[in-house]
Amino acid sequence: MVMLSHLFSATVRDAHQQHAKVLDLAITLFEDDYPPVTHLYCYPSHPPTRVRPGAAVQSLDWGARQITVADLGRGSEIPPPSLKPPSG
């Protein structure tokens, strides 16, 4: 079982030596006792923020706190206004 705090402290890397931090994630609730991650929102060292499907994860190394994907640049760009917390 992976703890949420471990995910947020991990670095996401790709084959091109690009790296990013985990900003947020999407899960499928009520599907299983341990809901699967469907999307990984990454904040790269240089914007824009991108979202990658959970299936894009190639490997996890929890000792090194590293998540590997093929290409961080292939994720969908997320416009900054959609990342603002809700008001109220």
Is the CA virtual torsion 37, 2, 8, 56 positive or negative? negative
CATH number of 4-82: 2.30.30
Contact 28, 35 (CB under 8 A): yes
36-77, pLDDT tens digit by residue? 888 888 887 767 788 888 889 999 998 899 999 998 888 888
* pTM > 0.85: no
Is the CA virtual torsion 9, 67, 83, 47 positive or negative? positive
